[in-house]
Structures are given as C-alpha cells and as structure tokens.
Amino acid sequence: MINDLFSKIDNEHDLTKADICELLTLNDQQQLYILYEKADKIRKKYVGDEVHLRGLIEFSNYCRNNCHYCGLRRDNKSIERYRMTHDEILQVCSLAQKMGFHTIVLQSGEDPYYTVEMMENLIRQIKQNFDMAITLSIGERKRSDYERMFNAGADRFLLRFETSNRQLYAKLHPDSDFNHRIKILTWLKNIGYQTGSGIIVGLPGQSIEDLAEDIMKFKELDLDMIGIGPFICHSKTPLAGSKNGDIELTFKVIALTRIVTKNTHMPSTTAIATLRPNGGMEQALGLGTNVVMPNLTPIKYRALYEIYPSKASIDEVAEQTHVRIIKRINSLGRLISKDYGHSLKKRG
C-alpha cells in the first residue's frame, strides 16, 4: 500500500529496493504531489532553506573518451574544440568573486593537456587570489594526481557513476570501467575531498530497477553531493534518434534520493532546465534540490560545450543569468547562501 510507504518515509525508516521501485512507478498526480512534499520537507530539515550557487567554468571541451551519450566524445568531429588559458580561467574567477560566488566549479572533458602541474598551479593561484571553494569535475586521473590537486587546495570533486547497471555502463563507456570508477570515488573520499557523484535518468536500456539500485548506491557511497539529470539525445552520437529521458521520472529519482540520503547537496541540474526551460529549475528546487550551478563560461565558448543540444542559458551573459536565477530562487521563498556551502556530513 502506498500509504504504508508514505508513513515509512514520515518515520524515516529505510526504504528497500522494492519500496523505491514502487515509488518510482507512481503516476497519480495527487500521490506524486505528496511524495515531492515529503522530499521537500526532508530537504528543509536536513539542509535548510539556503540555495548554494556554484559558478560553473567549462574550461575545455576536449575529451579523450567516447561515452555514447555525450556530444564531447572524441569521435564527434563536428564540434570545434577549445581550451581556456590559465589567465582566461582566472578572469572568470575574478568575475565570479565580484558576483558574490563562494564556489567555482572547474569542469572539462577528460583532457590530459592540463597536466597535474598545470592544475596545481591554477588551483593555487585561485586560492591565493580569491576567497573561493574549488570543485573539480575533470574525470579520471591517477590517484597521485587527485592527491596533488587536493594538497594544492581543491575542496571538492564531482565524478558521476552515470548508471549502476554494469552491462549498460560497459556498453556506454568504451574507455571506462565501472569498478574502477567506484574505486576512484572511494579514493576521493579518503583523500579528503567532498565527493559528488550522480547519474543520468532515461538512458536507453535503463530500467526502473536500475534507478532504484542507483539510489541505493548513492546511500552506500555516503556521498556529499549528488547530481541527477535527464538524458538528452545528441544527434552526433551513437545514441542519435533515442528518446530523451522523462522529466517526471527524473523528479521522482531526485525526490527519492533526497528522502534516502537526507543531508546531501543536490543541484537542480542544467539538463532539467534544458528539457523544461520554463519552471524546471524551480520545480526541482521544490522537491529536494538545494544547489544551482549558473554557467560562467565565456559566451564565445559556451555553445561549444555541447554535451547535449540546446543547453540552457547558452547565449546569456553571466551577469544576466545570475540576476535571473537569484530572482527566481527568492520568489520561491528560498534564500541565497552567503557561505561556501561545504558538506554537512561529519567525517573523521
């Protein structure tokens, strides 16, 4: 009975995989409303009303990998590639500081051009010049690289496991091994990074069971941050012609992830804002998420970072996006955080 599951949530009892599967198949609007309300309440109780803004810098769209869903995959010869210089990145950090950001997210494809020495220098300079937490999202490297970048001052690292279905993972990631990826996540935590992961909802071949398993995996990994977005089909990839992920299913996965993991930081992702430009961001903030990552990549590069097509705020300058997002968050009655927005998990 659905009411039994709802009271299990209210009493904060652990949900089983079967419970999660049942809740993921809810379709009744009234019941979905109740589920989202419960996720929102747990968000409020565990991470409060503050929304953390993280300024996103997509500093290189070169990638050595060939993930089947992604427009930046190396075999996509139809995009122009770019790399931002050290100085260009620092300029964006300076802008971010002026705009009041307390975290900068450095994201790129897996681009070995940026050696660990270059990353260390960049991280040190950002830390010297700006009062800012640094999140890295640059893919797989060797363990000593993660250690060196952490010692240089990086605070957080994002590495999605994308799907916990091993067969599907292997099929979609010709260059990456699932077990190794999970191992990297444990390295990152042990090194001391606030560690984030996440998944894509609606990958071709992904089942409801897989998504329930993903949610259990989030909990097992004891993550600090979890990013969840719908699959968006890109025509220049092997998945061309596939259906986009379902936004409602994405919302259910987010709500249940909040209910299960409680005090994690969860972004209202760009993929959501892309599939639902009018109101998607706000909806996700109302059912469990508490982070927004405005895009600060210089306009001349923005359209080239085409993970998927028609990415949200592709031609809007950073200042405009910022004002628009703050207005929309305030209109929800939520506050903009004034601190770094570090993990709320106690470690030690």
- Residues in contact with ligand SF4 by the rule CB under 6 A: 63, 65, 67, 70, 72-73, 109-110, 139
The dihedral of CA 308, 167, 136, 46: what is its sign?
Answer: positive
Write down the least CB distance from residue 237 to ligand 5AD, Å. 7
CA 282 – CA 288 distance, rounded (Å): 11
Sole binder of ligand 5AD in the list 55, 196, 229, 286 (CB under 6 A) = 229
Interface with ligand 5AD (CB under 6 A), residue total 12
Nearest residue (CB) to ligand SF4, 132 versus 159: 159
Burial degree of 26 (CB within 10 A; 0-12, 13-18, 19+): middle
CA–CA dist 53, 39 (Å, integer)? 20
Query: What are the structure tokens assigned to 246, written together?
Result: 């379902």
Burial group, residue 256, by CB count within 10 angstroms (0-12, 13-18, 19+) = buried
CB of 139 to ligand SF4, least distance (A): 5
Could you tell which of ligand SF4, ligand 5AD, none binds residue 160, using a CB distance below 5 to 8 A set by kind?
A: ligand 5AD
Question: Could you tell me the smallest distance in angstroms from the CB atom of residue 152 to ligand 5AD?
Answer: 22
Both structure tokens of 208: 């409801």
Rounded least distance, CB 154 to ligand 5AD, Å: 17
Interface pattern 305-324 for ligand 5AD (x via CB under 6 A): --xx----------------
Whole-angstrom Cα distance, residue 102 to residue 3?
42
Residue 171, amino acid = K
Least Cβ distance, residue 294 to ligand SF4 (angstroms): 20
Binding to ligand 5AD (CB under 6 A): which residues in 263-302? 271
> Which of the choices ligand SF4, ligand 5AD, none does residue 110 contact, using the CB cut-off of 5 to 8 A by kind?
ligand SF4
Q: Does 70 bind ligand 5AD (CB under 6 A)?
A: yes
At residue 15, the 3 state secondary structure works out as: coil
Find tokens 């207005």 and name the residue.
Answer: 327
Residue 211 neighbours by CB under 8 Å, 6+ apart? 20, 24, 199, 201, 249, 253
Residues of this chain, 140-199, that bind ligand 5AD according to CB under 6 A: 160, 162
Return the number of the residue (108 or 195) whose C-beta is nearest ligand SF4. 108
Q: Which residues contact 172 (CB under 8 A, 6 or more apart)?
A: 67, 68, 69, 162, 163, 203
Separation between Cα atoms, residue 71 and residue 218, nearest integer Å: 26
With CB under 5 to 8 Å by kind, the binding choice for 281 among ligand 5AD, ligand SF4, none is: none
Among 19, 20, 52, 69, binds ligand 5AD (CB under 6 A): 69
DSSP state of 277: T
Residue ranges in contact with ligand 5AD by CB under 6 A = 69-70, 160, 162, 200, 229, 231-232, 234, 271, 307-308
